Homo-oligomer: A and B are copies of this chain.
Amino acid sequence: MSNREIPYKIYLEEQEMPEKWYNVRADMKKKPAPLLNPGTLKPMTYEDLRPVFCDELIRQELDDTTPYIDIPQEIRDFYKMYRPSPLVRAYCLEKKLDTPARIYYKFEGNNTSGSHKLNSAIAQAFYAKKQGLKGVTTETGAGQWGTALSMACSYFDLDCRVYMVKVSYEQKPFRREVMRTYGASVTPSPSETTEVGKKILAAHPGTTGSLGCAISEAVEVATHTQGYRYVLGSVLNQVLLHQSVIGLETKTAMDKYGIQPDIIIGCAGGGSNLGGLISPFMGEKLKGAADYRFIAVEPASCPSLTRGKYAYDFCDTGMVCPLAKMYTLGSGFIPSANHAGGLRYHGMSSVLSELYDQGLMEARSVGQTAVFEAAEQFARVEGILPAPESSHAIRVAIDEALRCKETGEEKTILFGLTGTGYFDMVAYEKFHNGEMTDYIPDDADLKAGFDGIPKFPGNLI
């Protein structure tokens, strides 16, 4: 098919939507390292994890051999409310950049949660309901995940308790209000409602919180409340599995029009979006069926892949969670307060960390001023106001397209546009007023975080 025949937006039919998630771990020769029990340093078993996670989700978490896993009908029905999401040919951006490159983006912001997070939220809520639970607990930072989970819980009539990083809770009252619309309770973290919260408040009075603190509180509540479990919006293997729906739809749409991407770009915080987008393409690369360049884009202020250590580390600040092997800045690392938006987690998905370590994926870090420049440029021609997180991918997509302009190469660039920026206007305002600054931690800043990485034989060698 010629390029001219490609529509602005490619929507799959409902019957073309995936019926199975794709588990990229099954095709990895060297598997991601397992979660470890921090007491025994032995791999966490199904039984070890049962007090924290839903049973079926533990099975998915531990399963690194089954390539395709059925998406239950109930979840597929919910997906139909907002999926398939469009794969957009960025004709207007291409024209503006005057580039020979062809740019595509998979837009996941067309649902009320405003991001891709809903893809995993609905799956996790479904399994919780199926298990007969009363409710779930979670943490949220910028608020996309909390919103998605509250929507999913409302649909299945599950109680939803969200611990929201205090600084976001105060700066984003509207995010909180959306969650309340969907019936969730929202508590600023750290709080006095948990033992770990009290401990953190005593040690750091006046702290504005972090994702790591909020995780610790949510896990404590889940494990101490009858009929509750903890759920998480990124980092975990199960989340990447659910998010593979992004990549699977993208690949089906591209195959339908005979499009082959050269470069696939995604923003990376915990890895949920990037992992989901690249999974089926990475599967082909792992099997030698095709080759692609993958680029993970992270904030210069929270550079876990580009400047972190590949080591076992705690997933949370309170150290109540298992150890995960990942590129990490240390569980005590807190990004500078001037950092806008999400992508502020100290570690990176074990799957993506392992793929990166094997050289199958590249990583790049970008400063936030350059990110907002790209966001505004994109918004003006493509008509979508992107989230700061997503705009990291836009930045690098534009950079690559401009490189094509220099070299004359007609590359096909695909990136993930994970969400919209309606709740991030404070950051946009700072940018418009010239008040946005870039913070790049120096090696001394990073050292304190690294010092908190647990020391045991074989770790951090």
Are A432 and B177 in contact, with the CB atoms below 8 A?
A: yes
A180 proximity list for chain B (CB < 8 A)? 428-429, 432
Are A80 and B110 in contact, with the CB atoms below 8 A?
A: no
Q: Which residue of B lies closest to A431 (CB)?
A: B181
The answer, among B13, B154, B384, B428, for a CB contact under 8 Å with A112, is B384
Taking the closest CB of chain B, its distance from the CB of A116, in whole angstroms, is 14
Q: Which residue of B lies closest to A11 (CB)?
A: B11
Are B182 and A379 in contact, with the CB atoms below 8 A?
A: yes
Are A155 and B379 in contact, with the CB atoms below 8 A?
A: no
A114 proximity list for chain B (CB < 8 A)? 422
Give bound CA distance, A154 to B383, whole Å. Answer: 9
A183 proximity list for chain B (CB < 8 A)? 380
Give bound CA distance, A5 to B111, whole Å. Answer: 23
Quick one: CB contact mask for A377-401 with B, threshold 8 Å, 1 for yes? 0011111110000000000000000
The answer, among B82, B181, B425, for a CB contact under 8 Å with A432, is B181
CB under 8 Å from chain B, chain A span 415-461? 420, 422-423, 425-426, 428-429, 432
Give bound CA distance, A178 to B422, whole Å. Answer: 8
In this assembly, does A9 line the interface, its C-beta being within 8 Å of a C-beta of chain B? yes
Give bound CA distance, A118 to B385, whole Å. Answer: 14
Q: Which residue of B lies closest to A81 (CB)?
A: B383
**Residues on A close to B: CB < 8 A?**
7-9, 11, 13-14, 78, 80-82, 92, 110-112, 114, 118, 151, 154-155, 173-174, 177-178, 180-183, 376, 379-385, 420, 422-423, 425-426, 428-429, 432
A182 proximity list for chain B (CB < 8 A)? 379-380
The answer, among B151, B380, B422, B429, for a CB contact under 8 Å with A173, is B429
Q: Which residue of B lies closest to A7 (CB)?
A: B14
Also in contact, A181 and B376, with CB within 8 A (given A112-B420, A429-B173): yes
Listed residue (A114, A173, A174, A183) with the most chain B CB atoms within 10 angstroms of its CB: A174
Give bound CA distance, A428 to B432, whole Å. Answer: 28
Give bound CA distance, A11 to B16, whole Å. Answer: 14
Are A110 and B110 in contact, with the CB atoms below 8 A?
A: yes
Also in contact, A80 and B173, with CB within 8 A (given A379-B112, A385-B181, A432-B180): no
A155 proximity list for chain B (CB < 8 A)? 92, 380-381, 383
Are B181 and A8 in contact, with the CB atoms below 8 A?
A: no
- 6 chain-A/chain-B pairs, Cβ below 8 angstroms: A7-B80, A78-B383, A112-B383, A177-B429, A181-B428, A182-B380
Give bound CA distance, A382 to B151, whole Å. Answer: 9
Q: Which residue of B lies closest to A147 (CB)?
A: B385
- Other than the known A177-B428, A177-B432, A178-B422, what 9 A-B pairs have Cβ atoms closer than 8 Å? A8-B81, A81-B382, A82-B383, A110-B110, A112-B385, A118-B383, A181-B379, A182-B379, A183-B380
Give bound CA distance, A384 to B118, whole Å. Answer: 12
A11 proximity list for chain B (CB < 8 A)? 11
Taking the closest CB of chain B, its distance from the CB of A192, in whole angstroms, is 22
Are A425 and B154 in contact, with the CB atoms below 8 A?
A: no
Taking the closest CB of chain B, its distance from the CB of A143, in whole angstroms, is 12
A151 proximity list for chain B (CB < 8 A)? 383
